[in-house]
Amino acid sequence: MGVTCAAVVDWYGPYESVAAAKAAIREWGSEEVLYLAAGTVGRQRTPKLQYVGITKNFEGRLNADHKIRKWVKDEGLSLYIGEVGSQAVAGRKARHHHKNFTVPVNLAESAIAFFLQLPLNSAKRCSRPKGSIIVLSRWWKTTDYDARKHRRPHHDWPDFIEYDDISDTGSVVWHGRRRKRFSSKLIDETCTRASEELKAAREKQAA
């Protein structure tokens, strides 16, 4: 029987600039975090979820060469910082007993990038997570870290993602709205389509 990791991700934001997000990280003293960017790219007019990442050095990671800095427009940019805990503890209490949850964080990043097919996660869009994972997202106010948000920040951002590597199936759930189920066949098709898109993009760039 395989082992399933469970990651409860407490998201804080939006921060309307990289500088504001970096200032928050400095204040918290956090080490390993997830971060997610929403905004517009190219000719888009409606903000979309664009990229999810993981880092132990947020200030150094989001330099001028980062995809978020290069492609997501500054105007309308929304950055969210996510802390992962081993259990559902309200608020930011996890920061006082910080542990290194490397495996759950890595799998959470992979699951979010793959099942939401985030455009700027060009490589991670092509591959299913490398282990079973359950991701539960919760959103908190930046003005009061103990106050939950009652609405998700973006309509495409789900409350729950599950992937089972034994059956190779998944599920994405928006509480009160809908559920999207991923069969093994659909996961294979998603990998193939994303890989073809990545190959085409690389060929276009090389031409």
| Each residue's pLDDT tens digit, 71-80 | 999 999 999 9
Domain total in the chain: 1
**81/30 Cα distance (integer angstroms):** 10
Q: What domain range is 97 assigned to?
A: 4-206
- What pLDDT sits at residue 98? 37
Q: Answer yes or no: are the C-beta atoms of 10 and 140 closer than 8 Å.
A: yes
Provide the pairing of β-strand 132-140 with 4-15.
Answer: parallel
Predicted TM-score (pTM) of the model is 0.84
* Tally of residues, the chain: 207
Higher pLDDT: 202 or 99? It is 202
